Chain A
Amino acid sequence: MRRRTFLKTAGAGSVIALAGCAATPTGNGNDRPPRATIDGTPGGTLTVATYSSFTGEDTAGNYLKSAFESEYPNVTVEFTVPSNGVNQYIQRKQSGAPIDADLYVGLNTGELVRADEQLDDSLFMHSRDYLDRGDALNSDLEIDPRGRAVPYDTGYISLVYDESAVEEPQTFDDLLESEYENGLITQNAQSSDPGRAFLLWTIDARGEDGYLDYWSGLVDNGVKILDDWQPAYQAYTNEEAPAVVSYSTDQVYYHGEGVNMARHQIGFLNDQGYANPEAMARFADTDQPALARLFLDFVLQPEHQATVAEKNVQFPAVTDAQLSEEFAQYAYEPPEAVTFTYDRLKGNVDTWIEDWAREVVGN
């Protein structure tokens, strides 16, 4: 019955609404045009691909949509939230399937590297030099040497620890001490952003040749590696260990009357935190390049940057955004931010992670 539906659909070249089956002529888009401009009033629909928690009630995405639409009344912002993130679009590009979004929001360095390694033609188009707000960007956060991905906020990976149970861990070596035996929960670097950031941080601290030994020491000292941030933090909340790899903004959620702040101390190992900037980029196949660029510039406006950062519980990507006093008081920035550049990750990151995973699983 299903087959027949398909064939009939193909013959008529129409859309079957009930099943959500559709048939459209196949073909490819073009590549990388120069700076696009808008004649007259901006209008049309802008489709933003992102992760699910960026949208919905009381989110950064919803705020941006309302603000952008009230600034440009003829524009409608729509969100699409593919469950497998940017991989969805890499795979679409690989198989010649259409990309039905204009820009992607929520890209990190590793994902950009993966997109470039997987594809011959770039998934994204250049934006950086065409932006009015480009100069305001915090240059440490610019992850793309080719200027396609533009940062809009950043988090810092740090430890969150319970000062009533352990001393503040100061260095990576401290975590190998008996005081921290069975004392740390982290995440699987193969599938979790903070887990991956923490692994890269140890590679930065111990070098490519030393990090596996360091991890072997962590494993001997009883480090627990769970699949993602939520189970890890949940286990920390349930007092399974006195420290967890998390974000330096932890206290934004936990302060004030009746909160036991002892359990929400931020530990910057070596006085560092690992920066994990989030970026946005225009798809090379978009038919709305000018409107998408307008959106990028809009997100980088100081007032929008402050709101997006606070709603995402992250830090802004521009130097002139003003965070609210309360937020700034509880969101800690590390004395020194470390992060691997695009060029360092390219060609290396997959091997690093695979070697790490094999090391920690043991046999």
Chain B
Amino acid sequence: MSRWAERAALPAAVVATIATLSVVFYYPVGSVFVEAVLESGRLTADPLLDILSDPFYTGVAHHLFVDPLGIPAGVLDWITSGFPSVALGRFGFTAYQAALSTVASVALGLPGAYVLARYDFRGRRMLKSLTIVPFVLPSIMVAVGFLAMFGRAGLLNDLLGSVGLGPIELLFTLKIIVLAHAFYNAPLVTRLVTTAWESVDRRQVESARAMGASPLAAFRDVVLPAILPSLLTAALLTFVFTFMSFPIVLALGGLRHATVEVWIYARVQALDLGEAATLATLETVLSLVLTYLYLRYEARQRSTSGAGQSLLRKPLTIGWQTLRSPTRLAIFAYGIVAAVVFVGPLLSLLIESVTAPDGSFTTAYYEFLFAQQAASAVGTTKPLPAIVNSIVYGLGTLALAVPMGIVVAMLAVRGGRGSRLAEALLTAPLAVSGIIVGLGLLQTMVFGTVLFGYRLTAAGPIAIIFAHAAAAYPFVTRNVAPALGGLDSRYRDAARSLGATRLRALLEIELPLIGAAVLAGAAFAFAISVGEFDSTVLLAEGVDSYTMPVALERYVNNRSLGPNLGPATAMGTVLLFVTGLSFVVIDRLGGRWEP
């Protein structure tokens, strides 16, 4: 590559990234959000105020918008009447369950990161690769797995019953929603924090210890500052995701526990797009404000770390001594909990895929998949193309999202006025409801946009990959930015002073040093692509470009084996194995890159 091209490459990548995002994200989403602030062509705040002053949505907070002056008196009333419980409204309830879900996800995910980063045992790398598998599972499959595991007649109650305990009623409660959210998001915590923990420089801990710091003090002063940004990133992402959670909430909790997103979906179905857009705008603003506040915090926290060797891992089992090590016993107790929450539902899903309605063993659902594959009728959804498409889109997304994410991370780390705000806005694909993104893509790309008297439309594989990349790249940024920011700038400066271009310094010095973070980001990009449904199903329409989740959804509605989810559970199992294998391969191939 000529020097000129090397110099131009990064600015060109920035322009390409922003152009891509504009076409497949900002313009489509903007076309929906505009409905929230426009009424017959005029700018208005009325729809927003209508929602904010509706106690159904905002609960007790609606007083803020209806009668702000009456609030002190209202608060006084509330105190004098002995702090009765207050109405949260849909937004309040949604935030409440998201907060609980975040706490549960951190509580379940953090010990996992500790074990994976600090202990050595057989299958550790494999386990680490597989942690994000729950992330890609369609919610209807999680619902099936949870029902079979935690239901009234589920596996857990069977197990409890056999030792004389239970039964416990979890279904249709807030608890099961929080648990399902932890199932989805604790792996996110584990994966992000493990990556950060493994990047802690052993020498720094050793020097702290050599200077007389206790293990606890060394942890507090060296390890904690290094993993905290990742932990908080994971917590933030979990909050934002669970705030926008939708099908799983209704499938396990029922309408009594409806989130704001449920209402957005209902309004879109009823084609009341104005109210849908208004609700989604409020949701997004809330998520973006949180993201912005977090990014400001993160920028102040960045600790410089060298790139050294990671901490030595201790063996998990040490013979009979294992039973006398309180930490190891606690780890085994955690292992049991993790097995119940993560392995339980997945295993139950597997069992459901070979269980007939009367409880006997059957291979009918897998035979169904083969029959679909062999079928000649048009409109048949076949499993093999779905698998191939999912993998191809996933790899395409990975190839696009990784450079996009790195470019944006570089912009973010460089700092300067407004860069936090810019990064928050660039993180928007995480903060917009999938329903709204889908609607936007439908209105702009599928229906087409009129330019110069021509209607331009875009659908099919390339459009899908670009849409997935826009959704996935913030994960790369969120993995890479803290690592890049933590890198000692002297490495780069040295390379630059020796005449390397910015691109060369990035490719040859910085990225290899933070390979683990890039790899984690790449795995997430793949996961997002494989799991994506809302946009895929719209852009895949009419073409044979359906993916595994889309095929699964069609099998859900297929009644040829009767009204059961058997065929879908078989496809769900296939999806699990294919994605699990993909993660292992990605990690193995990418692992050569790790320091």
Known contacts A10-B452, A53-B554, A53-B559; A114 and B271 CB within 8 A of each other: yes
> Is the beta-carbon distance between A191 and B378 smaller than 8 angstroms?
no
Known interface pairs A79-B378, A87-B269, A114-B271; A24-B447 also in contact (CB < 8 Å): no
B254 near A22: Cβ-Cβ < 8 Å: no
Q: Count contacts on B: residues with CB < 8 A to the other chain.
A: 83
Cross-chain contact of A57 among B148, B258, B380, B466 (Cβ < 8 A): B380
Residue contact A20 to B460, C-beta cutoff 8 Å: yes
Neighbour of B377 across the interface among A56, A225, A259, CB < 8 A: A56
Count contacts between A and B, CB distance < 8 Å: 223
Could you tell me if B254 and A363 are in contact, using CB atoms closer than 8 angstroms? no
B53 at the interface (CB under 8 A from A): no
Asked if B165 CB lies within 8 Å of chain A CBs, one says no
Cβ–Cβ contact B256 & A78, under 8 A: no
Check B147–A57 contact: CB distance below 8 A. Answer: no
Across the interface, name the chain B residue whose C-beta is closest to A249. Answer: B563
- Bound state CA distance, A360 and B558, in angstroms? 30
In whole Å, how far is A227's beta carbon from the nearest beta carbon of chain B?
3
B139 CB to nearest chain A CB (Å): 9
> Known contacts A1-B16, A20-B543, A238-B154; is A95 also within 8 Å of B443 by CB?
yes
Contact B461 A20 (CB under 8 A): yes
Task: Say whether B89 contacts A363, CB under 8 Å.
Answer: yes
Q: Is A137 an interface residue (CB 8 A)?
A: no
Q: A25-B453, A231-B140 are in contact. Are A225 and B562 (CB under 8 A)?
A: no
Are A227 and B251 CB-contacts (below 8 A) given A13-B454, A234-B147?
Answer: yes
A contact residues around B434 at 8 Å (CB):
none
- Write the nearest CB–CB distance from B26 to chain A, whole angstroms: 13
Cβ of B247: which chain A residues have Cβ within 8 Å of it? Answer: 227
Contact yes or no, A240 B541, CB < 8 A: no
Indicate whether B565 reaches chain A with its CB closer than 8 angstroms.
yes
Q: Say yes or no: A235-B461 contact (C-beta < 8 A), given A24-B455, A190-B269, A191-B269.
A: no
Complex contact B254–A79 (CB within 8 A): no
Contacts of A219 in B (CB 8 A): 256
Residues of B within 8 A of A234 (CB): 143-144, 147, 564-565
Q: Chain A residues near B250: list those with CB within 8 A.
A: 188, 225-227, 231
Which of B55, B272, B379, B537 contacts A56, CB < 8 Å?
B379
Interface members, chain B 519-577 (any A CB < 8 Å): 537-538, 541-543, 554, 556-560, 562-565
A250 to B559 CA separation, bound complex (whole angstroms) = 12
**CB neighbours of A81 from chain B (8 A):** 379, 541-542
- When C-beta atoms are compared, the residue in chain B nearest to A1 turns out to be B16
Cα A239 to Cα B447 in complex, Å, equals: 44
Q: Are B442 and A358 in contact (CB under 8 A)?
A: no
Alpha-carbon separation in the docked complex, A270 to B365 (Å): 38
| Contact between chains at A231 and B269 (CB < 8 Å) | no
B293 on interface, CB distance cutoff 8 Å: no
Task: Report how many residues on chain A are interfacial, defined by Cβ distance under 8 Å.
Answer: 78
Complex Cα distance A1/B151, Å?
A: 51
Contact indicator A87/B456 (Cβ below 8 Å): no
Q: CA A239 – CA B377 in complex, angstroms? A: 36
Complex contacts, B269 vs chain A, CB 8 Å = 87, 190-191
Contact B562 A2 (CB under 8 A): no
Shortest distance from the beta carbon of A138 to any chain B beta carbon, whole Å: 23
In the bound assembly, the distance between CA atoms of A6 and B448 in angstroms comes to 11
Extra contacts besides A55-B380, A59-B379, A231-B251 (17): CB < 8 Å: A1-B20, A13-B454, A22-B456, A23-B455, A26-B455, A55-B378, A56-B375, A56-B378, A88-B442, A96-B450, A226-B251, A227-B250, A231-B143, A237-B357, A238-B151, A240-B147, A353-B270
Instruction: Pick the 7 closest A-B CB pairs, nearest first.
Output: A20-B460, A55-B379, A227-B250, A190-B266, A97-B447, A57-B375, A225-B255
23 contacts between A and B (CB under 8 A): A3-B23, A23-B454, A23-B455, A25-B453, A25-B455, A52-B381, A52-B554, A53-B559, A57-B376, A57-B380, A59-B560, A84-B442, A91-B443, A95-B443, A188-B262, A190-B265, A224-B172, A226-B250, A226-B255, A230-B557, A234-B147, A238-B152, A254-B562
